[in-house]
Amino acid sequence: MTVVAVVAAGVVMILAVVLIVLALVYFLVSTILELRKITAGLDEVIGGVGEIVEKSAPVNDVVNNINTQLDAGVDLLEGLLVKKAGLNDAVGLIDGVYPGAAAAGLRQFPESTEVDAPRIGETYTRGTLSLARLGREAPIAAASPGNAVLRNVEGGSLAARQLYPDVRHESPENLPNSPTIGADAPVQYEQREDVGAPRKRLPARRP
């Protein structure tokens, strides 16, 4: 009896150990397979990130160069404007074209923020300011004193199309179709009844 009990207990223990080992094998192999998928995915990620790094490497230098060029252009224009118009009128002209821009001032002239900008829109004729608005492509002109926008960049095409008697600029859901023509057309535009019919009156005979 004791031997049987010992054997039974041993079998149960071996069975338990085998179950634990099987569970370990199943889950660890599954985990290994998932880790391999992760490795493959990370290889793709590294490839994509490498491309990003490669493509974006020269961007910094190029953008810095562009900014340097634009800074030089701005300095040139500011200097020329102040040289020719004087700081007061320069700030007033800028504020007339870009309302509120005088508060920011000119970069090369820090004292320009303290200038009491003259109201160029009132000082100069309407034609002068109109030319200025046209030259500056005019979204700024929307806020110009008392005048309508002469050329709106975003709606410029619409404004031009509205000059013509057409409904297309209103974006209707359906436009009238082009007329169907030909012998099989539903509407025959030559709707005279005598067309194709026998003559009602014969031409008079010649003597």
Partner 1 sequence: MTLWWIGNAVLLLVILPVVVYLLRGVLEAAKSIVALVQGIATVAAAGSKDLDAAPLLLTTQDQVEQTVAGLANYGGSLDVILDDHEGPAR
Kindly list the residues in this chain that would bind partner 1 in the complex (CB under 8 A): 2, 5-6, 9, 12-13, 16-17, 19-20, 23-24, 27-28, 30-31, 34-35, 37-38, 41-42, 44-45, 47-49, 51-52, 55-56, 58-59, 62-63, 65-66, 69-70, 72-73, 76-77, 80, 82-89, 111, 115
* For partner 1, the closer CB: 79 or 169: 79
The rounded distance, in Å, linking the Cα atoms of 70 and 143 is 26
Question: Minimum CB separation from partner 1 for residue 130, in Å?
Answer: 21
Question: Minimum CB separation from partner 1 for residue 185, in Å?
Answer: 50
* For partner 1, the closer CB: 25 or 158: 25
Question: Minimum CB separation from partner 1 for residue 49, in Å?
Answer: 5
CB 83 within 8 A of CB 108: no
* For partner 1, the closer CB: 82 or 94: 82
CB 118 within 8 A of CB 89: yes
- Burial of 5 per CB tally in 10 Å (0-12, 13-18, 19+): exposed
* CA dihedral (33, 37, 38, 42) positive or negative: positive
Question: Minimum CB separation from partner 1 for residue 102, in Å?
Answer: 13
CB 72 within 8 A of CB 103: no
* For partner 1, the closer CB: 64 or 188: 64
The rounded distance, in Å, linking the Cα atoms of 115 and 75 is 19
CA-CA-CA-CA dihedral for 189, 191, 196, 197, to nearest 10: 180
Question: Minimum CB separation from partner 1 for residue 148, in Å?
Answer: 30
CB 94 within 8 A of CB 113: no
CB 150 within 8 A of CB 134: yes
Residues 6+ apart with CB under 8 A from 122: 145
* For partner 1, the closer CB: 14 or 185: 14
* For partner 1, the closer CB: 84 or 192: 84
Question: Minimum CB separation from partner 1 for residue 163, in Å?
Answer: 32
